[in-house]
Structure 1
């Protein structure tokens, strides 16, 4: 079947545009813009590295990643922290990262700069970690499921489980792991004081599927 001339011209135009835009043999252009990939707007604790690195992708005008680009991280607000790498250099996927260790400021704003490209900003907030952290054991859940405590601080689990028995058994973290709780019910309590920085995981051996939790110990 032969298309009408107007339809043939339209199809030819679309195919031509696709060929031009999709030609991977064209050389990469210079950096044109930055895209945030991960790490923005985190809230964490004084004098500790953020859980996630700041991550950006450097793209050319055709949205193709540009490797080998120097990326600078410059504090605008909160200058008492540090970066794991500064500048960073984009990898083969055009991605650059750095891990921000916070200081004692409560608000941080970081400019991300590449020569000739509009600046991006990452923000973070900081507060003091808890030293006496409560966790409730009730309704077949640890609440909060994931929490943090300062080194030397104590986490206390309080049972509110009626006649149903639960326990706190550590499954991972810096060794040696802390002592586990006894099997308890009613309104019992159990406490652990943490002295080593790291992430500890635990569960209830009676209800391992739904009753899991973690404690992140920070400076």
Structure 2
């Protein structure tokens, strides 16, 4: 299912908020790096994929009606083996609002950043990069540009936040691929030019699998 089909289906269902799985499917189509994830709609499907899963993993319930999964206990971290995967997935699926399970590799790097896109009636789409996770609201360490952006804009956005030092070699953390972050910003800007039905995109956190940035969680909201 491509982004046009996802958006058309959500409109038929009178939904503005896409699920994490739908959101990531759209982002992946535009070159935003996503982890190698599995989405299942039934516990019986685990038997077909468990051999290809490298533990530990994170499992999340996917729901069209629940936006904040953690508050509903629909996120389980550091699931260590097939037995835990099956029992935790079954427990999540007991929630009648859950339509499936998203299984993702557990990222061990602790650095959390954010990428965002907002539609402004005056300026059009505005792209955001900054420190993410629990520090997003407290520190407000972000940079912004009006779309479309250039490669120079993307690199400036990355380097002008106070937390830029965290992307380099620092106290046990290795340097990450800055060029790949800039490319991701450019791809998000390109998305804003092609998918004009979107009101906002939140990628928080953006974390690092080795040196490479990956969208660990994502939310897409459509215009009214």
TM-score range, shorter chain: under 0.3
Larger strand share, 1 or 2: 1
Higher relative contact order (CA 8 A, sep 6+): 2
Instruction: Please identify the structure whose Cα radius of gyration is greater.
Output: 1
Q: How high is the TM-score relative to the length of structure 1?
A: 0.26
Q: How high is the TM-score relative to the length of structure 2?
A: 0.25
